[in-house]
Amino acid sequence: MKVLVISQTVFSKTSNMGKTLTSYFSDFQPNELAQLYFHSEKPTNSDICQDYYRFSDVDALKSIFSARRMGTSIEACDIHDSDGSARIDSGISRNAYKIGSKHKAWVLLLRDILWRLSEWNNPQLLQWVDDVKPDVIFFASGDGAFSYRIAKSLKARLNVPLVMICVDDYYINNRNKSELLGNIRQKLFLKTVKKTVADVDGIFTICDTMNRAYTQLFGKKCYTLHTSAKNRKLELKTNATQVSYIGNVGYNRYKQLIDLGKAIARVKNEKVPHHIDVYSGSISEEYITPLKNATGIVFHGAVSASDVPKIMENSIAVIHTEAFDEETQNLVRFSVSTKIAESLMYGPCLIAYGPEGIASIDYLKENNAAYVITRPGDLEMGLAEILTNRELREQIVKNARVLAIKNHNADVNPKKVRRWLEDIVHGDKRFWAL
């Protein structure tokens, strides 16, 4: 079976979406996959895929003014394996990406206009797609309307099934409703989305909460596809000394980390660390500067994928957090952070801090798979309790492991993906009914 993966980001060992995609297709051989992606990144993992086509926003812009071919075909010989940063943009293009990452309505509209005017469907790209000869298209959705049109167009060209995966909410919550152009842009975006969904042969969602909401929204049954982690347990050190946070500090998570740092610094107990070690590749000074200056926080910057297990082995607990402000809650309501699967599978004890009604917080609380704190006023007391109670931490780790094996097993979930896609290619949807 040959799968064409269409996504914003490239397969990766480090970025959240890149890691998620990699986990879904770990049961596939590299020659079974090809990827068309739209970000200014280079592939760094030849183990998962060896056939890529990159067509970025910069390529889209250049194609309007130039007759020469745009985009880059990337083969195995061009890939240099690494677990470090895959970014290749710099200067103006990198600054433009920072602006785009804020997902403002005017930026999204401008981007959509750019792609409408672009020559993305140039002969080189279309020839590459034809040469791939996919049996099915796997489309990782996002907030760029252009990507839905591309997925729909290539389905029609290739006459193959189209499957869509949703990992964030871009549809129910209008994150730009307070902006002048926000409602206009959302209306146009949803019109494009629904046209594509009408041609979709199957929809995956990241969690059951999103599943229920999108089944109702699209009028099509959705299927939950949890993120995965390797079935392994870390050798947690009995003399572990730190509490760690590893991952994205955006979506106001940095504010919650600052509150956690202040709270842990106030705990007067020799068994409790005096600070939280934060590891994040976030580049925005909006997040980094406050964290560097915060009480009870030691900011370490980016960390390689190979170092993450070492950090976890040296940790009493690891942290997951979500913001309490209404706007951010709406943005992450249906999301489940990529790192949760690894935290559940590997240990150590997971501490979750965030409001009820958020999918990740509710999921962990319902399954007793983390020590969950849902009120800011309970922070200091909660941290003191969990960080001084070894038996409680060990019980939570046991619960987390059971949940991880059930829903996040990398030995099982990728086989589900293969079976689902094989069934849809062959017109047999018995497995989809499970």
Phi and psi angles of residue 143, each rounded to the nearest 5 degrees, phi first: -105, 10
Both 160 and 262 in a single domain?
no
**Cβ density class 13-46: b for 16+ within 10 Å, e for less:** bbbbbbbbbbbbbbbbebebbbbbbbbbbbbbbb
Same-domain pairing of 276 and 382: yes
pLDDT at 348: 94
298 band by pLDDT with thresholds 50, 70 and 90: very high
Q: Provide the pLDDT for residue 100.
A: 47
Q: Does any domain span residue 362?
A: yes
Do 264 and 346 fall within a single domain?
yes
Please write the tens of the pLDDT for every residue from 103-112.
688 889 999 9
The domain that holds 368 is classified in CATH as 3.40.50.2000
Statement to judge: residues 262 and 384 lie in one domain: yes
What is the residue-wise DSSP string for 128-184? HHHHH--SEEEEE--S-HHHHHHHHHHHHHHT--EEEEE-S-SSSS-TTTTSTTHHH
Q: Are residue 263 and residue 394 in the same domain, yes or no?
A: yes
Contact 9, 402 (CB under 8 A): no
The pLDDT of residue 195: 96
Average of pLDDT values for 251-260? 95
Query: Is 7 within 8 Å of 22 (Cβ atoms)?
Result: no
In a domain, 233, yes or no: no
Looking at 183-192, 212-221, 227-236, which range is the least confident one?
227-236
Q: Which residues contact 47 (CB under 8 A, 6 or more apart)?
A: 30, 81
Distances (CA, A) of 414 to 2, 153, 210, 211: 15, 27, 20, 19
Do 197 and 321 belong to one domain?
no
AA letter at 228? S
In a domain, 234, yes or no: no
Beta strands 51-54; 72-75: pairing state: antiparallel
Assess whether pLDDT exceeds 70 at residue 47.
Answer: yes
Residue 278 parent element (H or E): strand 276-279
**Cα–Cα distance, 82 to 45 (Å, whole number):** 7
Contact 260, 296 (CB under 8 A): yes
Q: Give the span between the Cα atoms of 152 and 144, in whole angstroms.
A: 13
Rounded to the nearest 10°, the torsion over CA 286, 12, 371, 288 is -10
Amino acid 385: pLDDT? 97
Q: Provide Rg for the chain, Cα atoms.
A: 22
Average pLDDT of the segment spanning 53-68: 86
Q: Do 148 and 7 sit in the same domain of this protein?
A: yes
| Percent share of the chain, pLDDT over 90 | 67
Q: What is the pLDDT of residues 366-424, one digit of tens each?
A: 999 999 999 999 999 999 999 999 999 999 999 999 999 999 999 999 999 999 999 99
**132/97 same-domain check:** yes
Query: Percent of the chain having pLDDT more than 70?
Result: 93
- 260 and 310 belong to one structural domain: yes
Per-residue pLDDT of 134-162, as tens digits, reads 999 999 999 999 999 999 999 999 999 99
Same domain, 220 and 352: no
34 shares its domain with 122: yes
- Is 236 within the bounds of a domain? no
CB 323 within 8 A of CB 343: no
Write the pLDDT tens digit of every residue in 69-91.
Answer: 689 998 877 777 765 556 555 55
Decide if pLDDT at 245 tops 70: yes
Q: Phi and psi of 390, rounded to 5°?
A: -60, -40
Residue 332 resides in a domain? yes
Under 8 Å CB-to-CB from 110, ≥6 apart: which residues? Answer: none
Interval 270-294 mean pLDDT? 91
| 186 domain-assigned | yes
User: Residue 11: which domain range?
Assistant: 3-228+410-433
With a cut of 70, say whether residue 343 has pLDDT above it.
yes
237 lies in some domain: no
Q: Please tell me whether residues 418 and 319 are part of one structural domain.
A: no
The predicted-structure confidence for 114-128, as pLDDT tens digits, reads as follows 999 999 999 999 999
Q: How many domains does the chain have?
A: 2
